[in-house]
Amino acid sequence: MNPILVALDVESAAKAVALADSLRGSVGGFKIGKQLFTAAGPAMVRELTSKGDRVFLDLKFHDIPNTVAGAVQSAVATGAWMVNVHASGGSAMMKAAAESARNAAAALDRPRPLVIAVTVLTSMDNKALDEIGVTRPVLDQVVHLAKLAKTSGLDGVVASPQEVTAIRLACGPDFQIVTPGIRPADQQAKDDQARTLTPAEAMTAGASFLVIGRPITAAANPREAAEKISATLP
């Protein structure tokens, strides 16, 4: 499948639907994050999944295990194809998320969604980690959390493209690596991202999926922008 997941980081269901309709067939799926989910709710996920779209529900659950298990159960009911939690929530929380996804999918007789864990946000660098008391370098912390996610039974992680090679080496060929922080070669303004690569560089490093937002959604012709990026992929 096309590895591009377009981030529908917009403020309304109408804008999200218009973008999805214009991009369908040219990308691999869509990411619904906190902005759109807060504005439009689970109905937005159901609307896209009912059209056959793969939806990555990017809500980054991070709470006590029981609460996260309940949230994942509700996410499964929307038809989401992939959901995520924060790896820093620990192994008990991640195991609860994985078990909840399995049980909820079985109860609803539908495919189990991928459950992945956020390692270190792409807006963070070594200085930001040090500020919150994490003394490891970013790369070491990311690999540590990726290995913890794998041993906790999760399918993969979210990490910056700059850590993909190290994660692939540590966690193997079947581990899913979802990479935000993707900027086409001709659009190298990083905005709030600290650790970025081009789409082709990320895929060559071993990324499974690329989360791309503004380079596509802010383009004058989003579909044309998506197809241009896809053409650069190895």
Tokens of 234: 């190895």
Whole-angstrom distance, CA of residue 124 vs CA of residue 3: 24
Count other Cβ atoms within 10 Å, centred on residue 174.
9
Strand partners, 24: 27
Active site positions, annotated: 60
CA-to-CA separations, 228 to 27, 188, 221, 224, in angstroms, rounded: 11, 16, 11, 6
Are the C-beta atoms of residues 167 and 140 closer than 8 Å to each other? no
Beta-strand relationship, 114-118 and 209-212: unpaired
Q: Roughly what angle, to the nearest 10 degrees, separates helices 91-108 and 138-151? A: 50
